[in-house]
Amino acid sequence: MHELSLCESLLEIIEEQARVHHYRRVRTVWLEVGRFAGVECDALRFSFEIVVCESLANGAKLEIIDIPGCGWCFDCGAEVLLEDCFEICPRCGGTVQITSGKEFRLKELEVE
Amino acid sequence: MCNVCGCGQDAMAIGTHPNEHVPHQHDHEQHPEACEEHGHHHGTEPQQGRERDAGHHDYGATPARAHAPGLSQARMVRIERDILSKNQALATENRRYFAARGIFALNLLSSPGAGKTTLLVRTIAALGGQFPMAVIEGDQQTTEDADRIRQAGVAALQINTGKGCHLDAHMAGRAARSLGLQRQSLLFIENVGNLVCPASFDLGEAHKVVILSVTEGDNKPLKYPDMFQVAEVLLLNKVDLLPYVDFNVEHASAAARRLNPGIEILPVSTTRGDGMEQWIAWLFQRRADFLHRLSAKTAIGR
Ligand SMILES: Nc1nc2c(ncn2[C@@H]2O[C@H](COP(=O)(O)OP(=O)(O)O)[C@@H](O)[C@H]2O)c(=O)[nH]1
Ligand SMILES: [Mg+2]
Ligand SMILES: [Zn+2]
Ligand SMILES: [Zn+2]
Ligand SMILES: [Zn+2]
């Protein structure tokens, strides 16, 4: 399962940052997850619990911040909100360049 | 140590990880003790903008408790790191490694059984040793594919990812380095059969090649958009089976172009040989462009 390896990468960053910011325990993890990040939130929560259970983030709460899909139309310049990443411009039918929605980012931690 | 392949002891491989420690350079490294001491300054002050009047310090919004003896201090730490940033940094390093040696690398993506290995075997035969070649084979379990490539007369390295569902830049970089690639090689990387996440893991390749076989259905592009968005070329494979399956080439092509207007689409049959000249021509053209860009860059660098 893909979310499992993503959680391993996430834990790696959390462990690295522990040396930088001198924390011993993580209580809450804020993750930004874009609509088109290809990440399934239920699978993510499930994997997170498994991956962190023997680490400094054991029992940490996972807070997911949803990032909507946005795009910019090449043809008419409109900024549009996207449901799907292959949508055409609702104003002119033009090709839309995705400007947000692919995020998968560790934003902030609550630590001690 | 690396969580992906556990190669922590390999000092050489570690040395090739760029940026592994760079983002950590931060003032606190210089004074860790001091930092322990004033740890609470980072997070337990009232939030800015909440102190609307001097007589009101709102601690309610922050998780930290005041200095109650025996209670630990919680604080907030801003990180702002892409989860895939580490992979990206390693991919950039691989790309530099390839560029320095004129190695043209292609990353092959498809669902299991779409025909990646068959395509490679046929391509190796068609190129007939015109330039040095090597193959990295990604698979969860077996080593069959690497054996098929070696039988075709080309060096191959098998990576078994176990439960891992994609190759990452770290695995690909180690594999490439241990293959001892000659200058100006053509390197094929056959990714793990999976239409989802290999799209998000840059390996440092020049281009991604996506293979869709006509037995999979012409709505695949819209179901798995990422793969088709990141690829430079789409090979529609197994066209010899078109008379027997319900697959509309026009529908599939239109869907792929909707996702990626610039994508090149080549119908092929890697068993019967249809479309192989076009594919080989694409390879030659893109490799020549790649080498040309490199020499232009070094000329500017001089
Ligand atoms: N009919 C037909 N079968 C093909 C073609 N290309 C591959 N195959 C078959 O599809 C199966 C899977 O091919 P393989 O190259 O191992 O797929 P991979 O998993 O993507 O590497 C094999 O049995 C191939 O013989 C093709 O163009 N036409
Ligand atoms: Mg294969
Ligand atoms: Zn428009
Ligand atoms: Zn490793
Ligand atoms: Zn994966």
Residue B76 Cα distances to A16, A92, B80, angstroms: 16, 45, 12
Closest by CA position to A53, among listed A8, A105, A110: A8
| B150 and B292 part of one domain | yes
| B118 and B246 part of one domain | yes
Which of A25, A27, A104 is facing B83, going by the closest CB pair?
A: A104
Average pLDDT of A42-52? 95
| B52 and B117 part of one domain | no
Closest by CA position to A55, among listed A29, A30, A25: A25
Query: Of A34-48, A76-90, B132-146, which gets the smallest average pLDDT?
Result: A76-90
Q: What is the pLDDT of residue A1?
A: 61
**A10 contacts in B (CB within 8 Å)?**
83
CB of B83 closer than 8 Å to CB of A9: yes
What beta strand segments (E) does B180-276 contain? Answer: 186-190, 207-213, 233-237, 264-267
Q: Residue with the nearest Cα to atom 1 of ligand 1?
A: B238
CA distance B255 to chain A (A): 9
Q: Is the Cβ pair A27, B74 closer than 8 Å?
A: yes
- Which percentage of chain A shows pLDDT scores above 70? 99
Among residues B47, B64, B80, which one ends one of the domains?
B80
A104 touches chain B (CB under 8 A): yes
Q: What is the pLDDT of residue B71?
A: 54
Average pLDDT of A46-53? 95
Q: Residue with the nearest Cα to atom 26 of ligand 1?
A: B238
Q: What are phi and psi of B271, to 5 degrees?
A: -85, -45
Averaged confidence pLDDT in chain A: 92
B206 beta partners? none
A96 beta partners? A73
**B63 contacts in A (CB within 8 Å)?**
27-28, 110
| B55 and B180 part of one domain | no
| B56 and B155 part of one domain | no
Closest by CA position to B105, among listed B229, B203, B240, B212: B203
pTM above 0.95, yes or no: no
Q: What is the pLDDT of residue B236?
A: 98
B104 beta partners? B186
CA of B6 from ligand 1 middle (Å) equals 33
Q: Residue with the nearest Cα to atom 9 of ligand 1?
A: B115
If one compares A71 and B35, the residue with the highest pLDDT of the two is A71
| B35 and B61 part of one domain | yes
A23 touches chain B (CB under 8 A): yes
Q: What is the pLDDT of residue A87?
A: 80
B100: left (phi over 0), alpha (psi -120 to 50) or beta: alpha
Range of the domain at B58: 1-80
Q: Residue with the nearest Cα to atom 2 of ligand 1?
A: B238
Among residues B61, B80, B99, which one ends one of the domains?
B80
Which of A12, A85, A105 is facing B80, going by the closest CB pair?
A: A105
* Binding site membership of B115 for ligand 1 (Cβ less than 6 Å): yes
Alpha helices in chain B (DSSP H): 11-15, 32-37, 85-101, 116-127, 144-151, 169-178, 220-223, 225-230, 249-259, 276-301
| B207 and B132 part of one domain | yes
Task: Give me the tens of pLDDT residue by residue for chain B, a chain 302 residues long.
Answer: 333 333 333 333 333 333 333 333 333 333 333 333 333 333 333 344 333 444 444 333 444 444 444 456 899 999 999 999 989 999 999 999 999 999 999 999 999 999 999 999 999 999 998 999 999 999 988 999 999 999 999 999 999 988 788 999 999 999 999 999 999 999 999 999 998 889 989 999 999 999 999 999 999 999 898 899 999 999 999 999 999 999 999 999 999 998 898 999 999 999 999 999 999 999 999 999 999 999 998 776 65
| B128 and B212 part of one domain | yes
* Binding site membership of B122 for ligand 1 (Cβ less than 6 Å): no
| B232 and B288 part of one domain | yes
| B136 and B205 part of one domain | yes
Quote ipTM for the complex. 0.88
From B118, B143, B191, give the residue whose CB has the most ligand 1 atoms within 8 Å, as the site to mutate.
Answer: B118
Q: What CATH code is assigned to A2-111?
A: 3.30.2320.80
**A4 contacts in B (CB within 8 Å)?**
163
| B230 and B200 part of one domain | yes
Total number of domains in chain B: 2
